[in-house]
Amino acid sequence: MNNKVQSPEQASSASGTSAAGGRGAKARIASLMGPAFVAAIAYVDPGNVAANLSAGATYGYLLLWVLVASNLMAMVVQYLSAKYGLVTGQSLTAGVAAHFGGVGAGEPGEQRAPKKPNRTGRLLYWGQAEIVAAATDIAEIIGGATALHLLFGTPMLLGGVIVGVVSLGLLLFQGGRSQRTFEGVIVAFLVVITVGFLAGLFVTGLSIGEMAGGIIPRFQGAHTVVLAASMLGATVMPHAVYLHSGLVRDRNYDICDDGALRHHLRATRFDVFGALLLAGTVNIGMLCLAAEALPGIPGTDSIEGAHAAVENALGPVVGALFAVGLLASGLASSSVGCYAGDLVMRDLLRIRVPMLARRAITIIPALIVIASGVEPTWALVLSQVVLSIGIPFALVPLVKMTSSPAHMGIWANTAVVRRVAWTICALIIALNVALVALIATGQAA
């Protein structure tokens, strides 16, 4: 797909031509939804579980505002990513590659505007994106392995291998005619995740007054800043920003004019709002569950300890559902993360690595972490901190390119959207600067 940006006059004409079919087009909105729900899996991965449980069990509802703010930011960010893919017909990483020159968007051999190559810049950008992908995989593999250990007593290392193999199997549905099937499988996993993580709330209930207090932005010491950065990294995830535009591109939408594009953008808004509302509800539910059922209980700073506490407090059925939700989260997010990693390498290096080889390579860091005996939950939280640091590298190009008429034509961000998007970037970067400063001074331990 390669959409052509038109002039306002052409857009007006196209819009009028397609007006007669407007009612029929509205009826097809549901059929256009799906990519946002795949990207939303990144927002309910095992890293979210670790960060949200740690925050809720240790500080109650104190950091609830972080999840609310992060989810609102995520809705803006994911819409811009999908919008970029729809308007330009390319992924965000392909656009970044074209910016560095020498390697650009489109298929190999396609004609591109000449530009002096900046190979070093492109490789450095690819390097940070790969670090983000590795941190993502660590969270997903460890989370899935922990779930298998909780459910069946599977050794962690073997569990990590199983999660890697199953996630590779899910990727067989990726691309081409199987793209819709892949989306359907991921949505099914999302349903399982939702049930698994929210089941306990039917037993514990919610403290509405404390939730209202948790909406007020504040910190309570250096550790809460680390947890906030972890929660932010687990919510607004860099690989999800890269991925969404690629999912839209790989969907091969039939967009013949600006009237059709306007319709697709409208469907995308529904897609993003529905997917992120669901993911945000799951995240908030996890923090509330920890705040209600786990405060003051020893060992709840780990997923295993939290599972044991949930099982003891709420019964074996809720404990089993929690573990099943964690397993579904690990399996689905691992396959989606591998998809994102393949997208990054394909667009920035113009290299296609067989998915089996890529899966084998990216699983190694996670298995090393597991074999080293590092406490799984803390490894998950730290992986989310790495993701948080990587967010600006995805957000700044996204906002810059979606705000550029040269890239987006009449679909470039409005002044209001630009201000909101740059404000989101500034807030995230400020939190990460504070995080790095705390780590450098040893206050984040």
Rg of the chain, C-alpha, whole Å: 21
Helices H, strands E: what count in the chain? 21, 0
Nearest to 51 by CA among 223, 213, 204, 207: 223
pLDDT tens track, the chain, 445 positions: 444 444 444 444 444 444 444 455 455 666 667 888 888 888 888 878 877 888 888 899 999 999 999 999 999 999 999 999 999 989 999 999 998 875 444 433 344 444 567 888 899 999 998 888 888 888 888 889 999 999 999 999 999 999 988 888 877 766 555 677 878 888 899 999 999 989 888 888 888 999 999 999 998 888 888 888 778 766 788 888 998 998 888 776 767 778 888 888 888 999 999 999 999 999 999 999 889 888 867 666 677 888 888 888 888 998 899 999 999 988 888 888 888 888 888 888 888 777 777 777 778 888 888 888 877 777 776 776 787 778 889 999 999 999 999 999 999 999 999 999 999 989 888 877 777 777 677 766 5
Of the candidates 64, 78, 375, the residue with the CA atom closest to the CA atom of residue 228? 64
- Contact predicate 44/336, CB 8 Å: no
**Residue count of the chain:** 445
Alpha-carbon distance values, 284 to 69, 111, 147, 253, 382 (Å): 11, 47, 20, 33, 20
Distance of CA 437 to the CA centre of its chain: 25
Task: Compute the distance between CA of residue 332 and CA of residue 324 in angstroms, rounded to an integer.
Answer: 12
Q: What is the pTM (predicted TM-score) of this model? A: 0.84
H or E segment to which residue 72 belongs: helix 64-88
Per-residue pLDDT tens over the stretch 178-221: 677 878 888 899 999 999 989 888 888 888 999 999 999 998 88
Question: What digits encode the pLDDT tens for the residues 31-67?
Answer: 667 888 888 888 888 878 877 888 888 899 999 999 9
Cα 197 from Cα 204, distance rounded (Å): 13
Residue identified by tokens 């705390």 is 438
DSSP per-residue codes, 4-65: PP--HHHHHHHHHHTGGGHHHHHHTHHHH--HHHHHHGGGGSHHHHHHHHHHHHHHTTTTHH
* Rounded Cα distance, 330 and 42, in Å: 10
Q: Tell me the one-letter amino acid at 38.
A: V
Q: What backbone torsions phi and psi does residue 40 show, to the nearest 5 degrees?
A: -65, -20
Give the span between the Cα atoms of 176 and 427, in whole angstroms: 38
The sign of the dihedral angle between the CA atoms of 371, 373, 374, 377 is positive
Those residues with Cβ within 8 angstroms of residue 208's Cβ, 6 or more apart along the chain or in another chain: none
3-state secondary structure of 377: helix
Whole-number Å distance between alpha carbons of 179 and 173: 6
